[in-house]
Structure 1
Amino acid sequence: MLKHVSFLTGNLPAVLAFYARLGGVVEKDLTTAEGFRRGVVRLGEGRLQVFEVPGERPRPHQHWAEHIALHVRDLRTLLPELRAAGVTVTRDLQPSPSGRDMAFVTDPDGRQVELLEADD
Protein backbone atom coordinates (compact mmCIF):
# COMPACT_ATOMS: atom_id res chain seq x y z
CA MET A 1 0.00 0.00 0.00
CA LEU A 2 1.31 3.43 -0.95
CA LYS A 3 2.21 5.65 2.02
CA HIS A 4 3.24 8.81 0.15
CA VAL A 5 4.90 10.32 -2.89
CA SER A 6 7.28 13.29 -2.48
CA PHE A 7 8.02 16.14 -4.88
CA LEU A 8 9.81 19.48 -4.87
CA THR A 9 7.83 22.65 -5.41
CA GLY A 10 8.59 26.27 -6.13
CA ASN A 11 5.42 27.47 -4.38
CA LEU A 12 4.12 25.35 -1.51
CA PRO A 13 0.97 27.42 -0.75
CA ALA A 14 -0.15 27.24 -4.40
CA VAL A 15 0.44 23.48 -4.59
CA LEU A 16 -1.40 22.81 -1.32
CA ALA A 17 -4.35 24.95 -2.46
CA PHE A 18 -4.44 23.19 -5.86
CA TYR A 19 -4.62 19.69 -4.40
CA ALA A 20 -7.11 20.80 -1.72
CA ARG A 21 -9.35 22.09 -4.52
CA LEU A 22 -9.22 18.59 -6.03
CA GLY A 23 -10.52 17.07 -2.79
CA GLY A 24 -7.28 16.59 -0.87
CA VAL A 25 -6.98 17.43 2.81
CA VAL A 26 -3.95 19.49 3.88
CA GLU A 27 -2.52 17.74 6.92
CA LYS A 28 0.78 19.60 7.34
CA ASP A 29 2.34 22.90 6.35
CA LEU A 30 5.48 23.41 8.42
CA THR A 31 9.18 24.19 8.36
CA THR A 32 11.56 21.28 8.86
CA ALA A 33 14.62 21.32 11.11
CA GLU A 34 16.69 21.85 7.93
CA GLY A 35 14.70 25.00 7.12
CA PHE A 36 12.66 23.53 4.25
CA ARG A 37 8.92 24.12 3.97
CA ARG A 38 7.04 20.82 3.97
CA GLY A 39 3.41 20.21 3.11
CA VAL A 40 1.41 17.01 3.22
CA VAL A 41 -1.91 16.49 1.47
CA ARG A 42 -4.03 13.39 2.11
CA LEU A 43 -5.47 12.08 -1.14
CA GLY A 44 -7.72 9.17 -0.22
CA GLU A 45 -5.56 6.72 1.71
CA GLY A 46 -2.23 7.99 0.34
CA ARG A 47 -0.33 11.21 0.85
CA LEU A 48 1.39 13.72 -1.39
CA GLN A 49 4.38 15.25 0.40
CA VAL A 50 5.81 18.43 -1.10
CA PHE A 51 9.02 20.22 -0.13
CA GLU A 52 9.93 23.81 -0.94
CA VAL A 53 13.72 23.79 -0.79
CA PRO A 54 15.55 27.13 -1.25
CA GLY A 55 17.45 27.20 -4.54
CA GLU A 56 15.79 24.03 -5.87
CA ARG A 57 13.20 24.11 -8.65
CA PRO A 58 11.04 21.20 -9.74
CA ARG A 59 11.60 19.88 -13.25
CA PRO A 60 8.53 17.77 -13.98
CA HIS A 61 8.32 16.07 -17.36
CA GLN A 62 5.60 17.50 -19.58
CA HIS A 63 4.58 14.19 -21.18
CA TRP A 64 1.21 12.83 -20.02
CA ALA A 65 2.76 9.41 -19.31
CA GLU A 66 4.47 10.86 -16.20
CA HIS A 67 1.58 11.97 -14.02
CA ILE A 68 -0.40 11.80 -10.80
CA ALA A 69 -3.87 10.26 -11.17
CA LEU A 70 -6.71 11.30 -8.86
CA HIS A 71 -10.33 10.26 -8.57
CA VAL A 72 -12.56 13.34 -8.34
CA ARG A 73 -16.29 13.86 -8.08
CA ASP A 74 -18.31 15.75 -10.70
CA LEU A 75 -15.46 16.27 -13.16
CA ARG A 76 -17.81 17.91 -15.69
CA THR A 77 -18.40 20.74 -13.19
CA LEU A 78 -14.87 20.82 -11.75
CA LEU A 79 -13.01 21.13 -15.07
CA PRO A 80 -14.59 24.48 -16.12
CA GLU A 81 -14.00 25.80 -12.58
CA LEU A 82 -10.31 24.86 -12.80
CA ARG A 83 -10.03 26.48 -16.23
CA ALA A 84 -11.65 29.67 -14.90
CA ALA A 85 -9.10 29.68 -12.07
CA GLY A 86 -6.26 29.63 -14.60
CA VAL A 87 -5.37 25.93 -14.42
CA THR A 88 -3.95 24.63 -17.71
CA VAL A 89 -5.94 21.77 -19.25
CA THR A 90 -3.59 19.59 -21.32
CA ARG A 91 -6.11 16.92 -22.32
CA ASP A 92 -9.76 17.90 -22.41
CA LEU A 93 -12.68 15.89 -21.08
CA GLN A 94 -12.93 12.50 -22.76
CA PRO A 95 -13.82 8.92 -21.91
CA SER A 96 -11.09 6.93 -20.18
CA PRO A 97 -10.32 3.37 -21.32
CA SER A 98 -12.77 2.20 -18.63
CA GLY A 99 -15.48 4.56 -19.96
CA ARG A 100 -15.39 7.10 -17.11
CA ASP A 101 -14.84 10.81 -17.74
CA MET A 102 -11.20 11.88 -17.56
CA ALA A 103 -9.06 14.95 -18.27
CA PHE A 104 -5.46 16.05 -17.71
CA VAL A 105 -4.41 19.36 -16.11
CA THR A 106 -1.13 20.69 -14.75
CA ASP A 107 -0.47 21.58 -11.13
CA PRO A 108 1.25 24.89 -10.20
CA ASP A 109 4.68 23.31 -10.84
CA GLY A 110 3.71 21.94 -14.27
CA ARG A 111 3.18 18.32 -13.20
CA GLN A 112 0.60 16.43 -15.23
CA VAL A 113 -2.45 15.45 -13.16
CA GLU A 114 -5.00 12.97 -14.51
CA LEU A 115 -8.49 13.63 -13.18
CA LEU A 116 -10.74 10.58 -13.35
CA GLU A 117 -14.41 10.57 -12.39
CA ALA A 118 -14.79 8.68 -9.12
CA ASP A 119 -17.15 5.76 -8.71
CA ASP A 120 -20.13 6.78 -6.63
Structure 2
Amino acid sequence: MLKHVSFLTRDLPATLAFYTHLGGVIEKNLTTAEGHRRAVVRLGGGLLQFFQIKGETPAPHSHWAEHIALHVPDLRGLLPVLRASGVVVTRDLQPSPSGRDMAFVEDPDGRQVELLQADG
Protein backbone atom coordinates (compact mmCIF):
# COMPACT_ATOMS: atom_id res chain seq x y z
CA MET A 1 0.00 0.00 0.00
CA LEU A 2 1.37 3.40 -0.97
CA LYS A 3 1.87 5.78 1.96
CA HIS A 4 3.00 8.89 0.03
CA VAL A 5 5.09 10.25 -2.81
CA SER A 6 7.75 12.81 -1.86
CA PHE A 7 9.30 15.51 -4.06
CA LEU A 8 11.66 18.44 -3.73
CA THR A 9 10.32 21.89 -4.56
CA ARG A 10 11.91 25.27 -5.24
CA ASP A 11 8.88 27.27 -4.08
CA LEU A 12 6.65 25.58 -1.52
CA PRO A 13 3.88 28.24 -1.48
CA ALA A 14 3.53 28.09 -5.29
CA THR A 15 3.52 24.28 -5.21
CA LEU A 16 0.83 24.21 -2.52
CA ALA A 17 -1.31 26.71 -4.47
CA PHE A 18 -0.99 24.57 -7.63
CA TYR A 19 -2.04 21.33 -5.94
CA THR A 20 -4.92 22.94 -4.03
CA HIS A 21 -6.22 24.21 -7.42
CA LEU A 22 -6.34 20.52 -8.35
CA GLY A 23 -8.43 19.63 -5.30
CA GLY A 24 -5.67 18.90 -2.80
CA VAL A 25 -6.02 19.63 0.90
CA ILE A 26 -2.97 20.77 2.86
CA GLU A 27 -2.57 18.49 5.88
CA LYS A 28 0.85 19.72 7.09
CA ASN A 29 2.88 22.85 6.41
CA LEU A 30 5.80 23.27 8.79
CA THR A 31 9.49 23.90 9.25
CA THR A 32 11.53 20.86 10.30
CA ALA A 33 14.09 20.92 13.12
CA GLU A 34 16.77 21.21 10.41
CA GLY A 35 15.17 24.37 9.01
CA HIS A 36 13.66 22.78 5.88
CA ARG A 37 10.08 23.51 4.80
CA ARG A 38 7.83 20.42 4.62
CA ALA A 39 4.23 20.11 3.50
CA VAL A 40 1.84 17.21 2.96
CA VAL A 41 -1.10 17.44 0.57
CA ARG A 42 -3.94 14.91 0.53
CA LEU A 43 -5.10 14.41 -3.04
CA GLY A 44 -7.89 11.90 -3.39
CA GLY A 45 -6.81 8.86 -1.41
CA GLY A 46 -3.08 9.58 -1.62
CA LEU A 47 -0.52 11.88 -0.07
CA LEU A 48 2.01 14.10 -1.80
CA GLN A 49 4.86 15.33 0.37
CA PHE A 50 7.03 18.29 -0.64
CA PHE A 51 10.30 19.51 0.83
CA GLN A 52 11.92 22.86 0.20
CA ILE A 53 15.48 22.16 1.34
CA LYS A 54 17.27 25.11 2.90
CA GLY A 55 19.96 26.39 0.52
CA GLU A 56 19.23 23.93 -2.35
CA THR A 57 17.47 24.36 -5.69
CA PRO A 58 16.30 21.09 -7.31
CA ALA A 59 16.63 20.56 -11.06
CA PRO A 60 13.42 20.70 -13.15
CA HIS A 61 11.63 17.47 -14.06
CA SER A 62 10.40 18.06 -17.58
CA HIS A 63 10.37 14.60 -19.21
CA TRP A 64 6.80 13.44 -19.88
CA ALA A 65 7.51 9.92 -18.55
CA GLU A 66 8.22 11.34 -15.08
CA HIS A 67 4.82 12.62 -14.07
CA ILE A 68 1.95 12.55 -11.62
CA ALA A 69 -1.42 11.46 -13.07
CA LEU A 70 -4.58 12.86 -11.47
CA HIS A 71 -8.29 12.45 -12.12
CA VAL A 72 -10.07 15.83 -11.99
CA PRO A 73 -13.85 16.39 -12.04
CA ASP A 74 -14.01 19.16 -14.69
CA LEU A 75 -10.90 19.19 -16.86
CA ARG A 76 -12.42 21.47 -19.52
CA GLY A 77 -13.34 24.01 -16.84
CA LEU A 78 -10.05 23.66 -14.94
CA LEU A 79 -7.64 24.27 -17.83
CA PRO A 80 -8.61 27.94 -18.35
CA VAL A 81 -8.28 28.56 -14.58
CA LEU A 82 -4.81 27.01 -14.55
CA ARG A 83 -3.74 28.98 -17.64
CA ALA A 84 -5.01 32.23 -16.11
CA SER A 85 -2.91 31.57 -13.01
CA GLY A 86 0.22 31.13 -15.17
CA VAL A 87 0.41 27.34 -15.34
CA VAL A 88 2.21 26.03 -18.43
CA VAL A 89 0.15 23.58 -20.50
CA THR A 90 2.60 21.20 -22.21
CA ARG A 91 0.04 18.99 -23.96
CA ASP A 92 -3.34 20.56 -24.62
CA LEU A 93 -6.72 18.90 -24.20
CA GLN A 94 -6.95 15.69 -26.23
CA PRO A 95 -8.36 12.17 -25.92
CA SER A 96 -6.28 9.76 -23.84
CA PRO A 97 -5.67 6.20 -25.08
CA SER A 98 -8.72 5.16 -23.02
CA GLY A 99 -10.86 7.90 -24.64
CA ARG A 100 -11.05 10.27 -21.64
CA ASP A 101 -10.12 13.92 -22.02
CA MET A 102 -6.56 14.53 -20.87
CA ALA A 103 -3.95 17.28 -20.77
CA PHE A 104 -0.45 17.72 -19.36
CA VAL A 105 0.62 20.76 -17.35
CA GLU A 106 3.74 21.70 -15.40
CA ASP A 107 3.69 22.26 -11.66
CA PRO A 108 5.79 25.17 -10.30
CA ASP A 109 8.94 23.01 -10.38
CA GLY A 110 8.49 21.93 -14.01
CA ARG A 111 7.19 18.49 -12.99
CA GLN A 112 4.76 17.05 -15.52
CA VAL A 113 1.22 16.51 -14.24
CA GLU A 114 -1.20 14.48 -16.37
CA LEU A 115 -4.80 15.57 -15.83
CA LEU A 116 -7.51 13.08 -16.78
CA GLN A 117 -11.26 13.69 -16.77
CA ALA A 118 -12.75 11.74 -13.87
CA ASP A 119 -15.77 9.48 -14.34
CA GLY A 120 -19.14 10.93 -13.65
Shared fold per TM-score greater than 0.5: yes
| TM superposition score normalised by structure 2 | 0.96
Q: Is the 2:26–2:41 Cα contact (8 Å) retained in structure 1?
A: yes
C-alpha distance in 2 between matches for 1:48 and 1:88:
20
What number of residue pairs does the alignment pair up?
Answer: 120
C-alpha distance in 1 between matches for 2:112 and 2:91:
10
C-alpha distance in 2 between matches for 1:109 and 1:41:
16
SS at match of 1:6: strand
Q: Which residue of 2 aligns with 1:3?
A: 3
Which of structure 1's runs of 4+ aligned residues deviate more than 3 A?
none
Q: Which residue of 2 aligns with 1:37?
A: 37
Q: Which residue of 2 aligns with 1:88?
A: 88
How far 1:78 sits from its partner (Å)?
0.3
Q: Is the 1:8–1:56 Cα contact (8 Å) retained in structure 2?
A: no
Answer yes or no: is 1:50 the counterpart of 2:50: yes
How far 1:61 sits from its partner (Å)?
2.7
C-alpha distance in 1 between matches for 2:118 and 2:58:
29
SS at match of 2:103: strand
Q: Which residues of 2 match residues 74-113 of structure 1 at below 5 A?
A: 74-113=74-113
Q: Which runs of 5+ in 1 are unaligned?
A: none
Q: Report the AA paired with residue 26 of structure 2.
A: V
C-alpha distance in 2 between matches for 1:61 and 1:23:
22
C-alpha distance in 1 between matches for 2:24 and 2:61:
23
Q: Which residues of 2 match residues 56-71 of structure 1 at below 5 A?
A: 56-71=56-71
How far 1:60 sits from its partner (Å)?
3.3
How far 1:57 sits from its partner (Å)?
1.4
Q: Which runs of 5+ in 2 are unaligned?
A: none
Q: Which residue of 2 aligns with 1:23?
A: 23
C-alpha distance in 2 between matches for 1:106 and 1:15:
11
| TM superposition score normalised by structure 1 | 0.96
C-alpha distance in 2 between matches for 1:32 and 1:40:
13
Q: Is the 1:10–1:52 Cα contact (8 Å) retained in structure 2?
A: yes
